[in-house]
Chains A and B, each alone.
Chain A
Amino acid sequence: MGATFGLAEFGFLLSGLRWTLLLSVIAFVGGGLVGLAVALARTGTSAVLRRATAGYIAVFQGTPLLMQLFVVYYGLGLIGLQVPAWAAVAIGFTLNASAFLGEIWRGAIQAVPSGQSEAATALGIRYPARMRHIVLPQAFRIAQPATVGYLVQLIKGTSLAAIVGFIELARAGQIVSNQTYQPILVFGVVGALYFVLCWPLSLYSARLETRFAANAR
């Protein structure tokens, strides 16, 4: 094994980065789908569903992501499901993302002026079409800055898969650091890779926010 941090080690970090990206995409897509259901239930007419999803969000926002990963990871094993590590963390991240995205989108749905859905109702447009064509398109526009901003949290959050033992960027960094005894250099490079991934998204989110604020004025 190489004693110093060279090209091979950097390549290993990049292969970890690939898993970080993949995990982020899975969590965003999965979390987006479940999160949409959560947001709709949270703003729907059923009091039971509203309360249940409020509890769901409170639990996921009130406990550490690391604990959620541990509980899902060991919980799946306990009920006899032998899933690979990547699938377990993907499920954990999906559930977590669904709670946060659900809460962001709930706020956005409620921010759409109520006259919009009242007018649609008066025109005889039923709930599915009303949501799909009138409320949600406007809500997603409102939610855009916060959603992109959350994407940064999500990418950073995938680093916790390292603690469960899954080899993504942060874990790859630990391995390389242990081999080369150059922790400051290695974690500096790992941090820079995360930064390259997250900073453009942060800037984009901030730009969306100013543009949105300018339009609203």
Chain B
Amino acid sequence: MGPVLDFGVVSDALPALLWGCLGTMGLAVAGMVLAMAIGIGGVLARGSRIAPVRTATIAFVEIIRNTPFLVQIFFLFFALPQLGLKLNPTVTAIIALGLNGGAYAIEIIRGGVQSIHKGQTEAGLALGLHRAQVFRLVVLKPALRAIYPSLTGQFILLTLTSSICSSVAAYELTSVAQRIESDTFRSFEVYFTITVMYLAISWIMMTGFAVLSRQYLSYPTR
């Protein structure tokens, strides 16, 4: 019987765990990019002139937001191969995270877009901008500025949710930890350590978001 607490196994496994951290961050960032694309596309689809497109978007948002991520990722894990898409677990995990985050992003971005006064769009068109330019510059960018805190909060949640992707054996921190745990039986030490690592990852992400907003969303000073 060894000592009650033994963090030695954790320090031996540190390189593997740090690679796992990178895996989690990569998974999260890829998921966010996909979620952002779905979010913006979904807002456009939600305001489409074709009724079935609108209905399908609403159904997508409601189904994703009212079922657990664990069930969604299992469903995709088995459903994608049936569609002829034989993907590795990590890619499946990115798709699942993107779809999940995308549904929330649609609702958040839509709230921001609705907060932009109609007169702004009209002013943009009157100045001779294309519809696409008006959407990108006059509607989307100020909308993102307004909803940035809730959107990034949702993306932090997406990063934490990525730990669930370990259940389909995607490459990320939790699945690395589970492998180390089954080799060493030091469950508490391993999970306690990676909990601290997740806390650090969310802080890194929040700092990243703050920098990003200063770079791209601040008002021009010159």
Q: Which of A104-112, A125-133, A192-200 contacts B (4 or more CB under 8 A)?
A: A192-200
Q: Within the assembled complex, what's the spacing in Å between the Cα atoms of A184 and B78?
A: 6
B215 within 8 A of A: no
B4 within 8 A of A: yes
CB of A184 within 8 A of CB of B199, answer: no
Question: What are the residues of chain A within 8 A of B63 when measuring CB–CB?
Answer: 191, 195
Q: Kindly identify, within residues 28 to 66 of chain B, every residue whose CB is under 8 Å from any CB belonging to chain A.
A: 62-63, 65-66
Task: Tell which of B5, B67, B203 has the most Cβ of chain A within 10 Å.
Answer: B67
Given the interface contacts A62-B202, A64-B163, A66-B164, does A191 sit within 8 Å of B67 by beta carbon? yes
CB of B68 within 8 A of CB of A170, answer: yes
Question: What are the residues of chain B within 8 A of A188 when measuring CB–CB?
Answer: 75
Question: What are the residues of chain A within 8 A of B167 when measuring CB–CB?
Answer: 163
Which of chain B's residues has its CB closest to A59's CB? B199
Q: Say whether chain B's binding surface is mostly helix, strand, loop, or mixed.
A: helix
Query: Smallest distance from the beta carbon of A132 to chain B beta carbons, Å?
Result: 32
Q: Kindly identify, within residues 15 to 36 of chain B, every residue whose CB is under 8 Å from any CB belonging to chain A.
A: none
CB of A71 within 8 A of CB of B188, answer: yes
Task: Tell which of B63, B70, B167, B174 has the most Cβ of chain A within 10 Å.
Answer: B70
Question: What are the residues of chain A within 8 A of B4 when measuring CB–CB?
Answer: 78
Q: Which of B88-96, B124-132, B190-198 contacts A (4 or more CB under 8 A)?
A: B190-198
> How many residues of chain A get a CB closer than 8 Å to chain B's CBs?
36
CB of B68 within 8 A of CB of A159, answer: yes
Residue from A63, A65, A77, A170 within 8 A of B71 (CB atoms) = A170
CB of B74 within 8 A of CB of A157, answer: no
B148 within 8 A of A: no
Given the interface contacts A71-B188, A74-B188, does A187 sit within 8 Å of B199 by beta carbon? no
B69 within 8 A of A: yes
CB of B164 within 8 A of CB of A187, answer: no
A117 within 8 A of B: no
A138 within 8 A of B: no
Task: Tell which of B68, B79, B161 has the most Cβ of chain A within 10 Å.
Answer: B68
Task: Tell which of B63, B66, B187 has the most Cβ of chain A within 10 Å.
Answer: B66
C-beta contact mask, B162-186 vs A, less than 8 Å → 1, else 0? Answer: 1110110000001000000000000
CB of B191 within 8 A of CB of A74, answer: yes
Question: What are the residues of chain A within 8 A of B162 when measuring CB–CB?
Answer: 64
Query: Smallest distance from the beta carbon of B106 to chain A beta carbons, Å?
Result: 14
Given the interface contacts A184-B79, A199-B66, does A63 sit within 8 Å of B198 by beta carbon? yes
B218 within 8 A of A: no
Q: Within the assembled complex, what's the spacing in Å between the Cα atoms of A199 and B64?
A: 10
Given the interface contacts A68-B195, A78-B4, does A162 sit within 8 Å of B78 by beta carbon? no
A202 within 8 A of B: yes
CB of A187 within 8 A of CB of B195, answer: no
Going nearest first, the 7 A-B pairs with the smallest beta carbon separation are: A183-B78, A159-B68, A198-B66, A64-B163, A156-B68, A70-B191, A74-B188
Q: Which residues of A contact B (CB under 8 A)?
A: 59, 62-68, 70-71, 74-75, 77-78, 152, 156-157, 159-160, 162-163, 170, 173-174, 177, 183-184, 187-188, 190-191, 194-195, 198-199, 202
Q: List 20 A-B contacts (CB under 8 A).
A: A62-B202, A64-B195, A70-B191, A71-B192, A74-B187, A75-B192, A77-B188, A152-B66, A156-B69, A157-B68, A163-B167, A183-B75, A184-B82, A187-B71, A187-B74, A190-B71, A191-B67, A198-B65, A198-B66, A202-B65
